[in-house]
Amino acid sequence: MKISSIGKYLSGQFSGFSQTGFNLSQMKQIANVTGQTPAILGCDYSYGWDHTIPPQALIDHTCNPHLIEHSNQNGIVQVSNHLPNPSSPDAGDVLNRLDLVFSDLLKPETKSGQTYRSLVDIVAEGLDELQQANVTVLYRPFHEMNGGWFWWGAQNPAEYHAVWIDLFNYFTQQKKLHNLLWVYAPGYAAPNVTLYYPGDDYVDIVALDVYVDNPVSEILSFND
């Protein structure tokens, strides 16, 4: 595999959700056409669009061997999570806010808090497997939080900050995960991209999720 960058830019490819069709076909197609393999390989551990009981079954990190191989060949690894809604009665609903009280994620005595903690524990297992393999991870939790389409989106900013910081502390202090670069990634299609920023002590990289046909002209005109 030949991984290279042009100037100051690195390309990447999201290769799917771990248990619902993760594959390297697009990575291989790009390599065949360009002679270069994308530097960044992305995977999502969770597919919260499905409805499965228990919700823990929606989280899977079987993409890890591919991420490890990519890292061993000097590639960069990225992991996201479309977690199922912890308050969902049928264990899914990544796009449904339902009756979730967002602050309950910080309260282990609540049903939502217990479910949420069990979900992130499985995520932590996958991230720890990567840590044991000496893989540094661009970790992108609760992305596009400034929009209202995910259950964690458009929440009270102070509560969002608290949930992010709680996850950061839980992973770094209790789970001893020190291989993560935390990525704050609001959505281009919604306002207030800085409102949910939890602070410099809890973020390593600032990004922007963008889905546009002409990124050069549209992004250059973007102003929060």
The overall longest dimension of the chain from CA atoms, in Å, is: 53
pLDDT band at 218 (very low <50, low <70, confident <90, very high): low
Q: Report domain extents, the chain.
A: 36-220
pTM confidence score: 0.92
Is residue 215 pLDDT above 70, yes or no? Answer: no
Is residue 221 pLDDT above 70, yes or no? Answer: no
| Mean pLDDT to the nearest integer, 27-46 | 93
Is residue 222 pLDDT above 60, yes or no? Answer: no
**What class has domain 36-220?**
alpha beta
CB 116 within 8 A of CB 163: no
Of 28-37, 142-151, 207-216, least confident by mean pLDDT is: 207-216
Is residue 125 pLDDT above 60, yes or no? Answer: yes
Is residue 220 pLDDT above 60, yes or no? Answer: no
Q: Which tens digits make up the pLDDT trace of 86-117?
A: 999 888 899 988 889 999 999 999 999 999 99
Provide the pLDDT for residue 146: 96
Provide the pLDDT for residue 5: 46
Is residue 131 pLDDT above 80, yes or no? Answer: yes
DSSP the chain: -----BTTB--EEEEEETTTT--SHHHHHHHHHHS---SEEEEEEEETTS--SSGGGGB--TTHHHHHHHHHTT-EEEEEEEPPPTT-TTS--TT--TT--GGGGG-TTSHHHHHHHHHHHHHHHHHHHHHHTT--EEEE-STTTTSSSSTTTT--HHHHHHHHHHHHHIIIIIS---SEEEEE--BTTSS-TTTT---GGG-SEE--B---S-HHHHHHT---
Pick from 95, 105, 84: nearest CA to 20: 84
Chain-wide mean pLDDT for the chain?
Answer: 91
| Mean pLDDT to the nearest integer, 7-13 | 81
Is residue 152 pLDDT above 90, yes or no? Answer: yes
